[in-house]
Amino acid sequence: MVRFLLRRFGLALATLFVLSVLVFAASQLLPGDIGRNVLGPFASPADVQRLDHELGVDRPVYVQYLDWVWKFIHGNLGTSLEYQVPVASLLGPSLINSLKLAAVAFALVVPLSIFGGVFAALRRGRLPDRVITLTGLSFTAVPEFISAIVLILIFGVLLSWLPVTAAYPADADFFTQVYYLLLPGMALVLVLFGYIARMARTGTIDALESDYTRTAFLKGLDTATVIRRHVLRNSLLPTIASRRPSS
């Protein structure tokens, strides 16, 4: 378990490093001079040179990259050239709202998907398995914006159960915020349900066909105990550790 987590952590660090290099390289390949673009075509060369020095773009590329990474780690994303305020202050409110939405979607999709996948595996080849598998594939195949529009029409317009016109009030309590985030959270659930349910189904089937599960049955353990102690424990780890592929 520890080796598995360390391997995943190392892979995540390597991925972040490659992404940081690609993002920084893309910014370096942008056409034009930063100082000239900010000050305009009529700025004097001295003013352009002074701004380039203030921004640090006249230093070697590797120094710029290391400085950029160091500041990013410490939460310093620089200053917005348009608004002249820290970039972090502009991203903060949006990031908080995104995290709240992700938390609501996560709280909904994880139990639903795992229960659906495990139930489908236990009824493998039967009607519940076919229904859950087909439903998950259908949800995954539908584009996110189509799912969102359908949910708005059903729960916001026809039934009027959930708000669709605005975000939650600034002074809203926890339950009010969750109420306002249910509809967009449901749109994310539809997208993720099929993938997580398929992973849970596959992991459960593999665990059911493993030697330790057969041994547990041979020892005389009842089905519920075997599923709870052996099947779920070994089938849910790859499901939780898996990542949804990009669409």
Number of domains in the chain: 2
Beta bridge partners of 86: 79
In a domain, 246, yes or no: no
In the three-class reduction of DSSP (H, G, I as helix; E, B as strand; rest coil), residue 79 is classed as: strand
Tokens found for residue 152: 């708005």
* 192, 108 Cβ separation under 8 angstroms: no
Tokens found for residue 109: 């999709």
In the three-class reduction of DSSP (H, G, I as helix; E, B as strand; rest coil), residue 27 is classed as: helix
Structural domain ending residue among the three candidates 50, 84, 118 = 84
Parent domain of 105:
90-241
**CATH, residue 98:** 1.10.3720.10
Question: How far apart (Å, rounded) are the C-alpha atoms in residues 223 and 228?
Answer: 9
* 185, 106 Cβ separation under 8 angstroms: no
Structural domain ending residue among the three candidates 84, 99, 120 = 84
**pTM value?**
0.65
**pLDDT tens digits for the chain (247 residues)?**
678 778 888 998 999 999 999 988 888 887 777 777 777 777 788 888 888 888 788 888 889 899 888 988 888 888 777 778 888 888 878 888 889 999 999 999 888 988 898 899 888 889 988 999 999 888 888 888 898 899 999 998 898 898 887 777 777 888 888 888 899 999 889 888 888 888 888 888 888 888 888 888 888 888 788 888 878 877 777 666 665 544 4
Same-domain pairing of 111 and 160:
yes
Same-domain pairing of 94 and 161:
yes
